[in-house]
Chain A
Amino acid sequence: MSVMTAPLKLEDLEDRSFDPFMVEKLSHGSTADPYPTIHAAMAKGPVHKGAYRDLFDAVPDVQMAGLNHYVVLGYDLIQQVLLDPQTFTNREAFEHNLGRSFGHTVTVMDGEEHARFRRIFQRAFLPQVVAKWGETVVDPVVDRLMGAFIQRGEADLVADFTHHYPFQVIYRQLELEPEQAPIFHKLAIAQLLSSIGAPQGQEASRKLGDFFAGLLTLRRAQPGSDLVSHLATVEVDGERLPDDVLIAFLRQLMNAGGDTTYRGTSVLLTGLLTHPDQLAAVAADRSLIPQAIDEALRWEGPVASTWRHAARDVTLAGVDIPQGAIVNVVLASANRDPAKFPDPDRFDIFRDRSVRPLPFATGPHVCIGQHLAKVEMTRALNAVLDRLPNLRLDPDKPAPDIVGHILRVPEHIHVRFDPA
Chain B
Amino acid sequence: MKQWMCLNCGWAYDEAVGDPSAGIAPGTRWEDIPDTWRCPDCGAAKSEFDMVEV
Contact = CB atoms under 8 A, between A and B. Distances in A.
Given A128-B53, A128-B54, A355-B21, A115 B8 contact: yes
Nearest to B38: A83
Main secondary structure of the interface of B (DSSP, over half): loop
Q: Which 4 residue pairs of A and B lie closest in terms of their CB atoms, listed nearest first?
A: A366-B42, A83-B43, A126-B10, A128-B54
Nearest to A125: B10
B51 interface: no
B29 to A, nearest CB: 22
Nearest to A358: B41
A120 to B, nearest CB: 10
25 contacts: A115-B8, A122-B7, A122-B8, A122-B9, A122-B10, A125-B10, A126-B5, A126-B7, A126-B52, A127-B5, A127-B10, A127-B12, A127-B54, A128-B53, A354-B21, A356-B41, A362-B41, A362-B42, A362-B43, A364-B8, A364-B42, A364-B43, A366-B41, A370-B9, A371-B10
A368 B7 CA distance: 11
Contact of B21 (A85, A127, A356): A356
Contacts of B43: 83, 85, 362-364
Interface residues of A, number: 21
B40 A356 contact: yes
A368 B9 CA distance: 6
B24 interface: no
Contacts of B42: 362-364, 366
Contacts of B33: none
A121 B54 CA distance: 18
B21 A366 contact: no
A366 B20 CA distance: 20
Main secondary structure of the interface of A (DSSP, over half): loop
Interface string B36-47: 000011111000
A122 B52 CA distance: 14
Contact of B10 (A83, A355, A356, A370): A370
Nearest to B53: A128
Given A125-B10, A362-B42, 10 more contacts: A83-B43, A119-B8, A123-B7, A126-B10, A127-B10, A128-B52, A356-B21, A363-B43, A364-B42, A366-B9
A118 interface: yes
A154 to B, nearest CB: 39
A364 B20 CA distance: 21
Contacts of A127: 5, 10, 12, 54
Nearest to A85: B43
Contacts of A364: 8, 42-44
Nearest to A360: B41
A363 B6 CA distance: 12
Interface in A76-123: 83, 85, 115, 118-119, 122-123
Nearest to B6: A122
A354 B54 CA distance: 24
A355 B12 CA distance: 17
Interface string A294-305: 000000000000
Contacts of A368: 9
Interface string B1-26: 00001011110100000001100000
Contacts of A363: 42-43
A356 B20 CA distance: 11
A186 B54 CA distance: 37
